[in-house]
Amino acid sequence: MAHTELDLRERRTIEDMLNAKVPVSKIAAEIGRHRSTIYREIKRNYFTDEELPYLNGYYGMNAQKYASDRRARRRKLIRLDGLRAHVIAQLKIGWTPEQIAGRLDFDGQPIRVSHETIYAYVYSREGQSEQLARHLTSRRKKRQPRYARRARGQVFPPDRSIHQRPDFVKTRETFGEWEGDLMIFERSQGTMNVASLVERKTRFAVLFRNNDRSSTQFINKLMDVMEPLPQPARRSITFDRGFEFRAWRKLKSGIGTESWFCDPQAPWQKGSVENLNKRARRYLPRDTQLAALSNRNMKAICDRLNGTPRKCLGWRTPTEAFR
């Protein structure tokens, strides 16, 4: 069935039935809509007045005006040929909707639109006919709902908590237990970052560059780096709860590595990698031009870190302890 928006008659019916204290499920049945549609309609178009709170409520005429205003904003890219052509041209050269929206003034465009409006157009019938979504970084066929992100408790379930991690990992008894993190740089570097890994027992460090903060891209690169190690050398990795690590399940199925997660806002629970990051900042300050860093540069930094004697290792180097 084709999607149709609520009209004024339906909105007036909703207003009348709400005033009569009719349950939302019965309102939905009366006008032939799903109850979630009614709940969403009431939430989006509810009238509030801070000075006269007794006037707060759902009004059909107001709701129709709110919806019409939103629709007019959304349709700018259909009505305005010049603006639409500019947006499409920038999409085709690889700019994100946020970058395009932020640059409209600089590019001499008299009309402004938000990045959400651009996304809406890309995934509209008109945008899909031009296959605009293929120019986006994500290249999804459908827009991911803006407020449909899963709670972090579902992404990082309780059985993966650091408190469920075996005691021998905490006491550094076994080899092959790692900690992982991302080193973030100045905004001018865009989404580029450096992943940092440290083996807890030997303090052996591994650094590699990421071109974005996509979880899938990061985990795939991590598996490429870790896979050459024998299985006993990559038993587990402990992360924080950043969404860069939400694809952690691929590690177990891909290379047999377990994942554990710190408590929210508790970076000290993975103190080894935090300490590594501080040491690495000596060679990778926040203004580092990451695009100019070659694999040879990254290896040289790792070699220097792993070749430095550590008091906690009896003044051995991590390289010597790792062998």
All structural domains of the chain with their residue ranges:
8-71, 76-134, 158-322
Q: What gap in Å lies between CA 136 and CA 140, rounded to an integer?
A: 8
Q: Say which residue, 70 or 90, is predicted with more confidence.
A: 90
3-state per-residue secondary structure call for 236-262: EEEECCCHHHCCCHHHHHHHCCEEEEC
Dihedral, CA atoms, 310, 265, 244, 117, nearest 10 degrees?
Answer: -150
* Packing angle of the helix pair 60-74, 35-44 (nearest 10 deg): 90
Tokens of 174: 């076994």
As its CATH architecture, domain 158-322 has 2-Layer Sandwich (3.30)
User: Model confidence over 23-43: pLDDT tens digits?
Assistant: 999 999 999 999 999 999 999
Q: What is the pLDDT of residues 87-122, one digit of tens each?
A: 999 999 888 888 999 999 888 888 888 888 888 888
Containing 197, the helix (H) or strand (E) segment is strand 193-199
- H or E element at residue 35: helix 35-44
Q: How many CA atoms lie within 13 A of 51 on its CB side?
A: 0
Order of strands across the sheet with 193-199?
205-210, 193-199, 177-184, 236-239, 258-261
Integer-rounded Cα radius of gyration of the chain:
26
Is it the case that residue 147 has pLDDT exceeding 60?
Answer: no
